[in-house]
Amino acid sequence: MRHKIFLLGLLVSMLSCSNKIEKKVDTTLLQDLDAQLTFFADKTSNPTEVARSFENGKYRMASIKDWTCGFPSGTMWYMYELTGDEKWRTNAADNTLKLDGLQYRTNSHDLGFMAFCSFGNAYRLTGDEKYKEVVLQASESLITRFDEKVGCIRSWDHGDWDFPVIIDNMMNLEMLFWASKVTGDQKYKKICISHADVTMENHFRDDMSSWHVVGYNPENGSVEVKQTHQGLKDDSAWGRGQAWGLYGYTVMFRETGDIKYLDLASKIAEFMLPNLPKDKVSYWDYNDPKIPDTYRDVSAAAITASALFELQSYNVDNKKVYLKTANEILASLNSDKYRAKQGENGGFLLMHSVGNMPKDSEVDVPINYADYYYLEALKRQRKLLK
Ligand code: GLY
């Protein structure tokens, strides 16, 4: 009997000890991230611009014309949420409010990224109406790019396409769903559903990887071309594009409850997951023949982890695998291989993202959207652990 009580006591103390270790690791990680983001905020303070990436000791800055401008403040809002530290609320607010002018831009399809990650998180966390008004105006600006004949929001105004739509554009719909909920006006939601349905029809291949760009004929909505812009070649699977699709259709299911979107998100995951390397951090393009001797795209990994944490919460067949993979991605990103040492990397949290390989731009560098989706994924993971 005494022997049994001793063993039980040992087990209890071992369990509580391992729990303490987990908590300690978790607290240390958060302290490290907080210190690094503080360094970043100090180094990149600027009245109108934010830091987009860091290369050869120099920051590439982004104004309200840049699709990435909302991420640094969004990262700070997430840090505020993770730590509860008022310092982050102040920092995030300063970095959000300076982007105020973006709400009137009608020449960008990226307003969801720009306004919802910054002002959207600000409103969600503070309830302050001044943020809400900006997101509503940004939603209004974004829907001016919707075309009835094509059934999509137009992506770029540059290039030779008559009406280009890129898979990334799925990420701008979440803000429009929010606008419908806040105003009660279904016009925004209808646009999301139309855009997602047309994209579902035309962007996906038989193996459920996706093309980056689909060019439409605005006269009749027919497809003119299917191409890449940031991937290796037209018929390759650009890494971040796959992650955008996964995330975008997971949100579509959340916001509509329509099972066809959940099916598509699962099928995208079925393409991606078996093609990930051992540490689950994807290569910049799934079809690069140089794999494994080519670049990872840490931003794609962070987006994928965040999306998988949400996808596994729904009634899907492979939920255990999705959760396991999301945890494995985060474990890799938390490690020295991908997470920067304090005071290095220009203060960005993560290293090794790829912006635009064909243009040789931002290759293997820290980029602000990787940090944003990394903290979002950490937040989602912590919520599950609670
Ligand atoms: N939306 C642009 C990119 O993912 O690089």
111 alpha carbon, distance to own chain's centre:
14
Instruction: Judge contact between 322 and 311, C-beta under 8 A.
Output: yes
Distance 275 CA to ligand 1 centre (A): 21
Residue 216: in which H helix or E strand, if any? Answer: strand 213-216
Helix, strand or coil, per DSSP, at residue 225: strand
Q: Output the residue whose Cα is nearest ligand 1's atom 1.
A: 168
Per-residue pLDDT of the chain (386 residues; tens, 9 = 90+): 455 555 555 544 544 444 565 566 688 999 999 999 999 999 999 999 999 999 999 999 999 999 999 999 999 999 999 999 999 999 999 999 999 999 999 999 999 999 999 999 999 999 999 999 999 999 999 999 999 999 999 999 999 999 999 999 999 999 999 999 999 999 999 999 999 999 999 999 999 999 999 999 999 999 999 999 999 999 999 999 999 999 999 999 999 999 999 999 999 999 999 999 999 999 999 999 999 999 999 999 999 999 999 999 998 899 999 999 999 999 999 999 999 999 999 999 999 999 999 999 999 999 999 999 999 999 999 999 88
Nearest by Cα to 191 from 145, 223, 127 = 145
Q: Is CATH 1.50.10.10 the right assignment for the domain spanning 28-385?
A: yes
Q: Which atom of ligand 1 is nearest to the CA of 168?
A: 1
Residue 255 Cβ contacting ligand 1 at under 6 Å:
no
Cα(227) to ligand 1 centroid in Å equals 15
Judge if the beta carbon of residue 67 lies within 6 A of ligand 1.
yes
pTM of the predicted structure, to 2 decimals: 0.94
> How many other C-beta atoms are found inside a 10 Å radius of the C-beta of residue 147?
16
CA dist 93 → 68, 239, 274, 277 (Å): 17, 32, 41, 38
Residues 6 or more apart whose CB falls under 8 angstroms from that of 49 comprise 61, 62, 63, 69
Closest atom, ligand 1, to C-alpha of 356? 5
Q: Is the CB of 247 under 6 A from ligand 1?
A: no
Closest CA relative to residue 200, chosen from 262, 138, 149, 144: 262
- Which atom of ligand 1 approaches the CA of 230 most closely? 5
